[in-house]
């Protein structure tokens, strides 16, 4: 009987203990933070949701233990007013700073907590870890005063945010793609950097390799430093024991050299990341420096002007200057070729190459451009002649760190015109008595043969020849055009003209026209009978007799004193007149007519 009673008590005790454990295991806990920044004084909110009834007896013991990375102050506490909203009775709170623990002990004056009740614990006096990253907040252990049951709940993980680097600034010595650049970073550190800590600089992703980076200087941190790189990251780590921990709000400035900009043109990237780290490379503080306004560009050849007016045949020519926007890469000499075979064929360039060095790269060098007379028409009436001067880097830029070079457009004022040159614009001919002539040529060299057809305006005018042809070689060799006025019935003075029509495969010449205006003269009386001066006969000594006739009747037979050149002996011989003219006025008229006829027929004569 007694044995059975003991067995019954044992069974009841076992059942009671199992009931507490099971229901304790059903409880859950959640957490939230009002400040998750490195080293911040956090306000930690825990919400415990109870399990099946009964869970928490009136004498329940709740022990909240935070992780070792947190710091629990001696005055840490659980907000009594907040807890009282969800838990009745009385309790006490104790703090163990060494164990990072806060204990809440119910005094037994309250009631058991039913299932599904949410108890809120607001903890103050807890400081976040001094390193950023994901950490475990800790545990909550639930038991009763008699330790009849004990269950531990794991608190959620917490993401500790890095602290802020204040006054973060970044300065680049240049923004030339493909060139070496010095970077100065300035920062104010919110938290202590340990004596074995580091500063990290993360450049944009396009900086894929940084093998030649060196630490030029560092201010605000003492000790010795070792620099290392990987991809786009640079670490400046202080050697252990070589310096001391930094102070809070410490100003630090570092200068890095040997960073090579990528050989790209465009935005540098959105930002550069600065971080402070501990010896385990855990983040302490960080800041993103905005670099979105920084645009990489290649070094350039700089021109004073990209458009240059030049007059053909002007020895002075036009001028422009050329220089560089940056020194030659690696301080090597850079040779710039001015022009190419095409532009040099049409223009004279002085000089045809320029050498830039580390000392003269920014000094403008004058290029003189002249266009010589080529006697060839360039362009047209609707399109001006433009010659483009190209520029090429011959040596000194093996890394292609200079951008594509612009062309200089030379606008040539043409002094050659596709036109006909006439030696005379006005001619004087006497019908049947005196001819005249003029010379014709082209003003510029054609690209194909040019045929000029002479067409008199009136039938009594004739040209010999009536057509001439100019080639690309004979275009400027004058050709003689003889003009003859044939006999007409009219005795009035008249003015006629000769049209010149051009045809050619050269578009500049094809279809053009020009004209001269020869004048025909007539001597007449009121009876409208013409006076003619004719050679009546030739003497044996070479002299000629002149007869002035009106109609068919001779009115005057006279020999003038005329000198005729012997084309064989090239001697002048004088011929004496055989009969004098009774009228001085008629004599002068006769002499004038004789001179004209002599010039027309003998070409080389003179009146004495």
The 10s digit of each residue's pLDDT in 71-107 is 999 999 999 999 999 999 999 999 999 999 999 999 9
**Which of the following CATH numbers is that of domain 28-160: 2.60.40.2230, 1.10.3720.10, 3.40.50.1220, 3.30.450.20?**
2.60.40.2230
Domain boundaries, the chain: 28-160, 163-296, 301-413, 420-504
What pairs with residue 484 in β-bridges? 462
Which numeric CATH code is attached to 163-296?
A: 2.60.40.1290
Instruction: State the pLDDT at residue 13.
Output: 37
Instruction: State the pLDDT at residue 529.
Output: 31
Q: Give how far the C-alpha of residue 389 lies from the chain's centroid of Cα atoms, to the nearest Å.
A: 17
Instruction: State the pLDDT at residue 567.
Output: 39
Q: Are 559 and 578 in contact (CB under 8 A)?
A: yes
- The percentage of the chain sitting over the pLDDT mark of 90, rounded to a whole number, equals 45
The rounded distance, in Å, linking the Cα atoms of 204 and 206 is 6
The rounded distance, in Å, linking the Cα atoms of 418 and 506 is 10
Q: Which of 41-45, 164-168, 566-570 has the lowest mean pLDDT?
A: 566-570
Instruction: State the pLDDT at residue 396.
Output: 83
- What is the token pair recorded at 515? 């004209």
Residues 6+ apart with CB under 8 A from 412: 310, 311, 312, 371, 378, 379, 384, 385, 386, 387
The 10s digit of each residue's pLDDT in 204-243 is 998 988 888 999 999 999 999 999 999 999 999 999 989 9
The rounded distance, in Å, linking the Cα atoms of 606 and 584 is 20
Q: Do domains 28-160 and 163-296 have the same CATH topology?
A: yes
Fold of 420-504: Immunoglobulin-like (2.60.40)
Instruction: State the pLDDT at residue 533.
Output: 44
Cα dist. 511→164, 502, 508 in Å?
83, 5, 9
- Which of 158, 155, 124 minimizes the C-alpha distance to 140? 155
Residues 6+ apart with CB under 8 A from 172: 181, 182, 183, 294
- The percentage of the chain sitting over the pLDDT mark of 70, rounded to a whole number, equals 77
The rounded distance, in Å, linking the Cα atoms of 234 and 211 is 10
Instruction: State the pLDDT at residue 54.
Output: 53
Q: Which pLDDT band holds residue 383 (cuts at 50, 70, 90)?
A: low
Q: Are 498 and 457 in contact (CB under 8 A)?
A: yes
Q: Are 197 and 257 in contact (CB under 8 A)?
A: no
What pairs with residue 392 in β-bridges? 337
The rounded distance, in Å, linking the Cα atoms of 372 and 342 is 15
Q: Are 284 and 191 in contact (CB under 8 A)?
A: yes
The 10s digit of each residue's pLDDT in 203-215 is 999 898 888 899 9
Q: Are 140 and 48 in contact (CB under 8 A)?
A: yes
b/e map 173-205, b = 16+ CB within 10 Å:
eeebbbbebebebbbbbbbbbbbbbbbbbbbbe
Q: Are 517 and 489 in contact (CB under 8 A)?
A: no
Instruction: Name the DSSP class of 421.
Output: E
Cα dist. 298→175, 178, 305, 309, 604 in Å?
8, 7, 20, 29, 78
Fold of 301-413: Immunoglobulin-like (2.60.40)
Phi, psi angles (nearest 5°) of residue 326: -155, 160
Query: Which segment, 39-43, 192-196, 310-314, is predicted with the most confidence on average?
Result: 192-196
Q: Which pLDDT band holds residue 377 (cuts at 50, 70, 90)?
A: confident
Positive or negative, the CA dihedral 208, 211, 216, 222 is positive
The 10s digit of each residue's pLDDT in 473-526 is 999 999 999 998 877 656 667 788 899 999 999 988 888 876 555 544 433 332
Query: Which segment, 21-25, 379-383, 493-497, 509-513, is predicted with the most confidence on average?
Result: 509-513
Q: Is the pLDDT of residue 548 over 50?
A: no
> What average pLDDT does the chain have?
80
- What is the token pair recorded at 204? 């944009």
Instruction: State the pLDDT at residue 482.
Output: 93
Q: Report the helix count and the strand count for the chain, using DSSP H and E.
A: 4, 48
Instruction: State the pLDDT at residue 457.
Output: 87
Instruction: State the pLDDT at residue 491.
Output: 64
Q: Is the pLDDT of residue 333 over 60?
A: yes
Positive or negative, the CA dihedral 377, 381, 383, 388 is positive
Cα dist. 374→312, 343, 368, 505 in Å?
8, 14, 18, 20
The rounded distance, in Å, linking the Cα atoms of 522 and 482 is 19
Positive or negative, the CA dihedral 588, 593, 598, 604 is positive
Instruction: State the pLDDT at residue 489.
Output: 52
Instruction: State the pLDDT at residue 402.
Output: 87
Q: Name the residue with tokens 């279809």.
A: 511
Given the DSSP bridges, would you call strands 266-267 and 420-422 parallel, antiparallel or unpaired? unpaired
Q: Which pLDDT band holds residue 413 (cuts at 50, 70, 90)?
A: confident
Q: Are 406 and 302 in contact (CB under 8 A)?
A: no
Instruction: State the pLDDT at residue 6.
Output: 43
């Amino acid at each position: 009987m007694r044995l059975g009673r003991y067995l019954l008590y044992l069974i009841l005790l076992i059942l009671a203990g199992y009931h507490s454990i099971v229901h304790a295991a059903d409880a859950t806990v959640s957490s939230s933070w009002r400040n998750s920044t490195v080293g911040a004084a956090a306000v930690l909110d825990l919400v415990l949701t109870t399990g099946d009834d009964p869970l928490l007896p009136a004498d329940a013991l709740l022990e909240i233990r935070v992780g070792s990375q947190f710091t629990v102050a001696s005055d840490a506490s659980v907000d009594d007013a907040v807890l009282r909203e969800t838990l009745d009775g009385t309790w006490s709170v104790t703090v163990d700073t060494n164990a990072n623990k806060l204990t809440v002990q119910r005094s037994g004056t309250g009631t058991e907590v039913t299932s599904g009740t949410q108890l809120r614990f607001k903890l103050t006096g807890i400081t976040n870890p001094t390193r950023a990253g994901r950490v475990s907040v800790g545990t909550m252990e639930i038991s009763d005063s008699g330790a009849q049951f004990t269950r531990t709940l794991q608190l959620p993980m917490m993401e500790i945010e890095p602290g802020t680097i204040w006054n973060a600034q970044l300065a680049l010595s240049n923004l030339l793609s493909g060139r070496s650049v010095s970077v100065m970073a300035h920062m104010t550190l919110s938290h202590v950097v340990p004596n074995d800590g580091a500063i990290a600089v993360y450049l944009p992703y396009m900086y894929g390799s940084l093998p030649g980076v060196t630490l030029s200087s560092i201010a605000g941190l003492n000790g010795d430093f070792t620099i290392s790189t990987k991809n786009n990251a640079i670490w400046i780590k202080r050697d252990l024991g070589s310096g001391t921990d930094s102070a809070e709000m410490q100003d630090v400035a570092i200068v890095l050299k040997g960073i090579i900009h990528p050989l790209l043109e465009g935005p540098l990237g959105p930002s550069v990341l600065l971080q402070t780290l501990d010896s385990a490379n855990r983040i302490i503080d960080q800041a993103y420096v905005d670099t979105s306004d920084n645009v990489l560009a290649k070094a350039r050849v700089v021109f004073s002007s990209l458009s240059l007016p030049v007059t053909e045949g002007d020895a002075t020519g036009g001028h422009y200057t050329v220089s560089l926007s940056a020194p030659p890469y690696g301080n090597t000499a850079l040779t710039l070729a001015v022009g190419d075979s095409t532009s040099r064929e049409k223009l004279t360039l002085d000089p045809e190459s320029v050498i830039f060095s580390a000392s003269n790269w920014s000094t403008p060098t004058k290029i003189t451009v002249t266009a010589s007379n080529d006697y060839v028409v360039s362009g047209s009436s609707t399109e001006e002649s433009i010659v483009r001067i190209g520029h090429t880097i011959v040596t000194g830029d093996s890394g292609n760190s200079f951008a594509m070079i612009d062309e200089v457009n030379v606008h040539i004022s043409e002094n050659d015109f596709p036109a006909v040159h006439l030696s005379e614009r006005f001619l004087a001919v006497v019908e049947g008595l005196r001819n005249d002539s003029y010379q014709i040529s082209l003003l510029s060299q054609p690209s194909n043969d040019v045929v000029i057809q002479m067409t008199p305006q009136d039938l009594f005018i004739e040209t010999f020849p009536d057509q001439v042809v100019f080639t690309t070689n004979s275009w400027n060799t004058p050709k003689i055009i003889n003009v003859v006025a044939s006999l007409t019935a009219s005795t009035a003075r008249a003015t006629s003209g000769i049209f010149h029509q051009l045809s050619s495969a050269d578009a500049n010449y094809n279809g053009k026209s020009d004209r001269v205006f020869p004048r025909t003269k007539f001597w007449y009386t009121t009876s409208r009978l013409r006076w003619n001066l004719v050679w009546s006969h030739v003497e044996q000594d070479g002299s000629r007799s002149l007869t002035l006739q009106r109609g068919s009747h001779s009115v005057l037979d006279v020999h003038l004193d005329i000198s005729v050149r012997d084309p064989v002996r090239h001697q002048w011989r004088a011929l004496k007149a055989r009969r004098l003219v009774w009228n001085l006025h008629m004599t002068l008229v006769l002499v004038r007519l004789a001179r004209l006829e002599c010039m027309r027929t003998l070409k080389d004569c003179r009146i004495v």
